[in-house]
Structure 1
Amino acid sequence: MRKSPAHLVLVETTPTAGFKIVAEARALGHDVTFVAHSLDPYLAAEGGEEALRTPARLLTGVPTTDPGCLLDVIGALHRKHPVHGLLALSEGHLPATAEVAEALGLPFESAAVMRRLRDKHAVRELLAAAGVPQPAFRRAVTPEEAVAAAAELGYPVVVKPADGFGSLHVGVANDAAEVAELAAAVAGARSYGRGVAGSGVALLEAYVPGPVVSCEMVTVDGTSTPYGCVDRVPAPAPHPVELGGCFPAELADDVREAVVRVVTGALAAAGVRRAHTHTEVVLGPDGPQIIEINGRLIGGYVPTMINYVLGRNIYHDVIELALGGSPSPSPAHGAGCIRAITAPAPGVLAGIDAEAARGAPGTAEVMLHARPGQPVRPARDNFDRLGFLITTAGTAAGARKAAEEAHALVRVRVEDGPEGAA
């Protein structure tokens, strides 16, 4: 791995949490260029202007999902300021970034694997061929096909885009009418923003009852090693938005070992050889089953929560991997919890009072990224979350209790007005 100061290029990210990796890279002495389709999504978030000042360079107006155009831009940059590593934390931009890495001979997961992970149906077929436990599934391109597929699977069923992310257009359906409505939304979702196109193809999965956890891994030369599992606090049905979680999840040793074993098999079946991955798993009646694999570090402010528990910075591992190194997870000390701050009703955000929560016992950090005046609604997808709070304690139970108590102190004021965008 390169030890001297390096030039890293970050292709898109998440507002505003995604710029934490830029700050960490610069603190390590590295130079960072940020490449984006548009700065508008980042400027829309509270703190966006400050976050955009952290990279040394900003390259905008770039079609960041088009491998050829992205290579032209980064290739020209590479000739002026040699690039030593690429970073991508945004699901829809991983395949194009991987193609650029291959063209420039930079460390990264292969473009073939990153394209594969963007097609949830293709991954399902690979897992099925490898005998990895997962829900029964079907593919549908029209609402009519989705209704027929649901009848084959049996109710309830999960309906999601085959190439989606951020819990957009994901729901649990209990009858044909609900399936048709969700599938129609998927069919109409032809853009996810920032240049990411949608195929309109729906993936239907048998609903498996049980708690959901994610397994955070790093894979180097095909060997996958876990950081640990994060449990999940879901929003009420029918929109399974993640509203929080604790790390490490409170799991019996045999359950945790089973999760790691199933996830390791899934990553191998998908061909993952060099990446941080975030894999969601349902702890069903018959054991752990794979929900989906994401070829990136877990998103939002969850890495910040994990950092408090590890006593080190997981973003440093992402940077090390991007520069050709072989990072290794370290053990957790204590536990952390994160909770999303959301709107209690649709309308216009008037303000968020989190001062009492900041001073509550166990609170490590409170981050607000929603601006007063923006349309809001109760959470239907990840983009409806207005901020987060993180708590820590010696045990998961203690961190969870602190998170619940601090969350109860947050006051979100919403005025009458238009509901947030659907």
Structure 2
Amino acid sequence: MKKPQAIWLFAGGPMQESAAKSIVALGHRLIVTDLNPQCVCARYADEFLAFDTFDVDSNLAAARDLTEKYEIRAVVTLAADCHHTVAVISQHLGLHGISPDISRACRQKNLTREILTAAGIPQPRFKCVRTLAEAQAFLAELGGHGVIKATDNSASRGFAKLNAVSELTDEVFQAAVAAGTTGVALVEEALVPRHDCISELSVETVWFEGEMYWLNWVDRLFAPDLKFFPTLARYQDEKINWGVEVGHINPAQHPLAVKEQVHALVKAAGLALGMGKEAGGHVLKADIMLTDAGPMIIEMTPRLSGGWDSSATTPARGADFQGGIIQLALGEPLDLGLWHRHFEFKNPNLYAAILANISPDAKDCVGRQFALGTDFGRERSLQLSLSNLKENKHVL
């Protein structure tokens, strides 16, 4: 008897729900791995695995039984950081997927820094540190100004901005180490953002047969950026931790010259990581900071954006990036038909904004509630998002 075809989705939260629905709509059985048996996507799953999405060994063991029952056509993750598990499982099953080496290099922030530095791409000074004394010594070399972070986590978990060596306490150091899985932390020179514009961006690109194609970019909003939007008084009255993202605007708005600089930077970084040698189609996201010295890469990752970017503001503008990535994972070519169906914005002049309900004592980006606003006016989209937030009309 012919086995039913299935797609294996890693992470089954609200930001993956549209992907789960797309898989079911394609007529495939849905396999979901998520540590939470009550996650949103569990209701759509034909098979549910209550494993940590970062637990490679448990998922590899499960793959042996799953292949007895299903013809697994693709393994994917959308807007989640478990891309290395996906890469390893895809390779193990002989399916299309990103190289585990590229995924690992993106997952381990210190490896990203090493690769980009070797390629001549400007990077902040950095060092992996195992002890508080080592961390303090390197921070002193940086003049006392820097940041500390986990080597392999996201959402600002374990992140701290430091303005003096005395601020790097054992508590701060241990928080950075505990937020990762490597037993070390990463201390970096603090990038100085431009103050005349929104300085942090997320850029999504798709690579096909070694060529990069620009998908989109969004302006990431942090507390200092709210000065550009005086009507958002509600946020200006609250003290929000420096590293906590309060939302984003899709698309970003910057001069063409800046876009060309960012485009060239992301392409050079992707080639340094090895994207130019990958067969088929893959996504690569870059977080960028605009500085007076030009754009700088904060991190790279082979997945679509989280934070309700690929799963809310992009669909609101009429594109279906998640559906497109699923097709590429199935081995489909990036032709004009696929591009128009999934990666082309049907409402390119529309602004879609996300704002989050931030607790004043929040130290990272975990546990936020979000609201969406859309309008053909940039600030008006933020105002509508804020209105929805106040009325508890959350996307989550």
Q: TM over 0.5: same fold? A: yes
Residue 392, structure 1, aligned to residue 374, structure 2: yes
Partner SS, residue 95 of structure 2: coil
Is the 8 Å Cα contact of residues 231 and 246 (structure 1) preserved in structure 2? yes
Mapped partners of 1:12, 1:137: distance in 2: 31
Give the alignment of 1:20-419 within 5 angstroms.
20-39=18-37, 42=39, 48=40, 51-60=41-50, 62=51, 64-89=53-78, 91-180=80-169, 181-189=171-179, 197-210=181-194, 211-235=199-223, 238-272=241-275, 273=278, 274-303=281-310, 304-309=312-317, 311-327=318-334, 328=339, 329-330=343-344, 333-345=348-360, 378-386=361-369, 388-394=370-376, 398-408=377-387, 410-411=389-390
Is the 8 Å Cα contact of residues 371 and 388 (structure 2) preserved in structure 1? no
Is the 8 Å Cα contact of residues 250 and 352 (structure 2) preserved in structure 1? yes
Relative to structure 1, is the Cα distance of residues 212 and 300 closer, same or farther in structure 2, using a 3 angstrom cutoff?
Answer: closer
Aligned partner letter, 1:334: N
Relative to structure 1, is the Cα distance of residues 337 and 152 closer, same or farther in structure 2, using a 3 angstrom cutoff?
Answer: farther
Mapped partners of 2:391, 2:158: distance in 1: 25
Structure 2 residue aligned with 1:358: none
Relative to structure 1, is the Cα distance of residues 238 and 144 closer, same or farther in structure 2, using a 3 angstrom cutoff?
Answer: farther
Aligned partner letter, 2:69: K
Structure 2 length-normalised TM? 0.83
Partner SS, residue 281 of structure 1: strand
Shift of 1:412: 8.0
Is the 8 Å Cα contact of residues 9 and 32 (structure 1) preserved in structure 2? yes
Aligned partner letter, 1:268: L
Aligned partner letter, 2:176: V
Structure 2 residue aligned with 1:12: 11
Aligned partner letter, 1:179: L
Shift of 1:344: 4.6
Aligned partner letter, 1:389: A
Partner SS, residue 83 of structure 1: strand
Aligned partner letter, 2:23: A
Mapped partners of 2:83, 2:293: distance in 1: 33
Aligned partner letter, 2:191: Y
Is the 8 Å Cα contact of residues 247 and 356 (structure 2) preserved in structure 1? no
Shift of 1:149: 1.3
Structure 1 length-normalised TM? 0.78
Identical-pair percentage: 27
Relative to structure 1, is the Cα distance of residues 341 and 189 closer, same or farther in structure 2, using a 3 angstrom cutoff?
Answer: closer
Aligned partner letter, 2:330: L
CA RMSD of aligned residues (A): 2.4
Aligned partner letter, 2:202: S
Shift of 1:250: 0.5
Shift of 1:405: 4.5
Is the 8 Å Cα contact of residues 191 and 291 (structure 2) preserved in structure 1? no
Relative to structure 1, is the Cα distance of residues 300 and 213 closer, same or farther in structure 2, using a 3 angstrom cutoff?
Answer: closer
Mapped partners of 2:142, 2:107: distance in 1: 23
Relative to structure 1, is the Cα distance of residues 412 and 241 closer, same or farther in structure 2, using a 3 angstrom cutoff?
Answer: farther
Q: C-alpha deviations, 1:248-299, integer Å up to 9, x for none?
A: 2101111001101101111111123353122111110011111101221101
Aligned partner letter, 1:342: N
Relative to structure 1, is the Cα distance of residues 404 and 133 closer, same or farther in structure 2, using a 3 angstrom cutoff?
Answer: farther
Mapped partners of 1:253, 1:57: distance in 2: 47
Mapped partners of 2:103, 2:365: distance in 1: 22
Mapped partners of 1:120, 1:186: distance in 2: 13
